[in-house]
Structure 1
Amino acid sequence: MTDRFPNGSIVTYPYLWRWQENEGREHSEKDRPVCLAITMADARQNITHLVILPISGTPPFQGQAALEIPPLEIRRAGLSMLKRGWITVGEYNYDIAERSYFFEPNQIPRGQFGPSFLEEIRQALRPILIARQGRVDRTK
């Protein structure tokens, strides 16, 4: 699975925002482009862990941790429909590719972020992962 969807892949996914989960919702309103920031194979269980970050053409709201996507990365990612884009790094969806009700394993990635920008994303995401904050678990 990780060969087909390497780290930094841009795919479509029904991302559930944290505020939606807090309202008790289990389903998102729409599919959106997302970045598979981390795809980690677990050979013992034969599963692939996914850390999924949402991408938007709307600027982040006050207090929302997001990075603006550089124009070159917008093109690499296959997001040319966006004049400007942001990737949210203050929250994420966690899913397991092989067991997911939401992740479509037969889709073809739109594109992929380059290694330098992906590293910038990971550095911004690291404190959220370490503090175990912002996780919306889609495996339930």
Structure 2
Amino acid sequence: MTDRFPSGSIVSYPYLWRWQHDEGRENAEKDRPVCLAITVRDPEREITHLVILPISGTPPYQGQAALEIPPLEIRRAGLSMFKRGWITVSEYNYDIAERSYYFEPNQKPRGMFGPSFMEEIRRAIHPMLAARQSRIDRTL
């Protein structure tokens, strides 16, 4: 699975926002482009862990942390429908690819972010991941 969807892949996914989760919702309103920020294969359990970040053409709301996506990365990622784009780094969905009700394993990634931008994303999300804060678990 990680060969087909390496870290940095841009795919469609019904991302559940923190505010939706806090309202008690279990399903997102729509599919949206997301970045598979981290994909980690666990060969012993035969699963692939996914850390999924939402991408939007709308600037972040107050209280949200997001990185603006550079124009070159918008093109690499296949996000040309956005004049400007942001990747939210203050929350994430966690899912397991092989067991997911939401992740579509037969889709083709629309593109990928380059290594330099992915490193910037990883630096931005590291504190959040270490604290496990803002994780929305989609495996339940």
Which TM-score band (shorter chain)? Answer: over 0.9
**TM-score calculated relative to the size of structure 2:** 0.99
Structure 1, residues 27-60: CA drift from partner, whole Å, max 9, x if none? 0000000000000000010000000000000000
Give 1:1-140 correspondences, 5 Å limit: 1-140=1-140
CA positional deviation for 1:63: 1.9
Structure 2 CA distance, aligned partners of 1:63 and 1:100? 29
| Runs of at least 5 residues in structure 2 that lack an aligned partner in the other structure | none
| Runs of at least 5 residues in structure 1 that lack an aligned partner in the other structure | none
Aligned pair count reads 140
What fraction of aligned residue pairs are identical, expressed as a percent?
81
Structure 1 CA distance, aligned partners of 2:102 and 2:61? 26
**SS of equivalent to 1:103:** coil
**SS of equivalent to 1:4:** coil
CA positional deviation for 1:131: 1.1
Alignment RMSD, CA only?
0.4
**TM-score calculated relative to the size of structure 1:** 0.99
Structure 1 CA distance, aligned partners of 2:47 and 2:132? 21
State the one-letter code of the partner of 1:132: R
